[in-house]
Structure formats: structure tokens, C-alpha cells
Chains A and B, each alone.
Chain A
Amino acid sequence: DGGITQSPKYLFRKEGQNVTLSCEQNLNHDAMYWYRQDPGQGLRLIYYSQIVNDFQKGDIAEGYSVSREKKESFPLTVTSAQKNPTAFYLCASSGDWNSPLHFGNGTRLTVT
């Protein structure tokens, strides 16, 4: 079945370490997105990519970085510059630039 796979499900890191979250999709979607979810705050856009080798900052990009070397993959790196990295991270994709998003099952990152 087609879908979006995020790994790992849970991730624990020490403060000051960079960490990379994986997102892979086999839906042949051009556009991919990363969101951060905190309790009571809904979903906030970190980065998005409409096509391979191109990506744009979202509303809360500071302290994060991404790459889009392959259509099916859009990894997110949470750097040590992100002041409050503990959160639930959601990856999504869409078939074109104006279609509803399909989400992965998320990665819960805890930084201590």
C-alpha cells in the first residue's frame, strides 16, 4: 500500500546534539512538508518542498534544516540551535501544489 513512513516513532537525544528524522513516501507525490505539533497549538509548518532539490522555509524554520535529494525522501534535521526541540513532528505530502495533505504517523522527539 502507498503511504508515508516516518521513523523512528520515538527519539531521545541529549541537549546540544543534532538529530535527523526520516520521512519516506511512495505515493509519487511532488510536494512534501514538515510540521511541528505542540499541545494546544495545532500544527505549525517548519519546511516544505514542492519539487526535488528545492525547499522553502515555513513559519518556524529556525533551528531546523532539510534536504530533498530524492522525490520520495524529505529528512528533517533538528539542530542544537533549536531552543525547544521536544515535540511531535509530522511529515506530509501532497500530489500537487493545491491538494489536501496526507500525513505520516509522526515522530515524538524528546530532548533532555
Chain B
Amino acid sequence: GQQLNQSPQSMFIQEGEDVSMNCTSSSIFNTWLWYKQDPGEGPVLLIALYKAGELTSNGRLTAQFGTTRKDSFLNISASIPSDVGIYFCAELPQGGSEKLVFGKGTKLTVNP
């Protein structure tokens, strides 16, 4: 089956620092999704990417769909304490949302 490698597994940063995390896939896909999960809550969709090379921003978040269509990264600029949580990448292949494949997540800790 598809493999989705997300790194790093965890990050400990100081407030104000920039953050970068990425995902790589063993296969080519058409849609990359980035979710954030606050502690004890459900994941919330941050950004969806639909085209190779696409660069999309949402406030302090920026995500890009790699040109090879096998990778994506998420950057967070000027981190704040409420950025704490687990960030998941996911691939949505053709053929149905039930085939959505999730990375194992990057756990972000922000020290004030």
C-alpha cells in the first residue's frame, strides 16, 4: 500500500521561531492536505493543495505541493503558543475519500 513519511516526528521550539515540516510519498497523488489537531480535539483542515508546484498560504501558514507530486511541506512563521498540536499531512487519491492516507503526524511544542 501507499507509504506516507512525515517528519520530523516532534519539534520543540521557542515562541517566535519559524517551523518547517514535510511529507513524502512512495506514489504520485493529486491532492495534499494538511490538518492540525489540538490536544483532545479532532483534526481541522488547514490547507488543501491540488496542483503540482502549488504554493498556498493561510495566515502564518504556507504549504507547497512538490513538483514531483510526491512531497509537500508546511511552514509556520513566527510561531505562537496556540500553534501547539499535532500536524498531519494526508494524501487524497483518485477513487474516493475513504482512501485518504495520513502521515503519522508532527507534534509541535512551543515554549513561551
Specify which chain B residues have a CB less than 8 angstroms from the CB of A6 in the assembled complex. Answer: 42
Chain B residue nearest to A93 in the complex (CB): B97
Which residues of A, 31-85, contact B by the 8 Å Cβ criterion?
31, 33, 40-43, 45, 48, 50, 56, 58
Cβ contacts B91-104/A at 8 Å (1 or 0 each):
01011111010111
Query: What is the interface residue range for chain B against chain A?
Result: 20 to 34
In contact, A90 and B43 (Cβ under 8 angstroms): yes
Task: Give the interface SS of chain B, mostly helix, strand, loop or mixed.
Answer: loop
In contact, A103 and B33 (Cβ under 8 angstroms): no
Specify which chain A residues have a CB less than 8 angstroms from the CB of B35 in the assembled complex. Answer: 103
Interface membership of A98, Cβ < 8 A: yes
Which residues of A, 72-112, contact B by the 8 Å Cβ criterion?
90, 92, 94, 96-106, 108
Please, how many angstroms separate the alpha-carbon atoms of A90 and B35 in the complex?
14
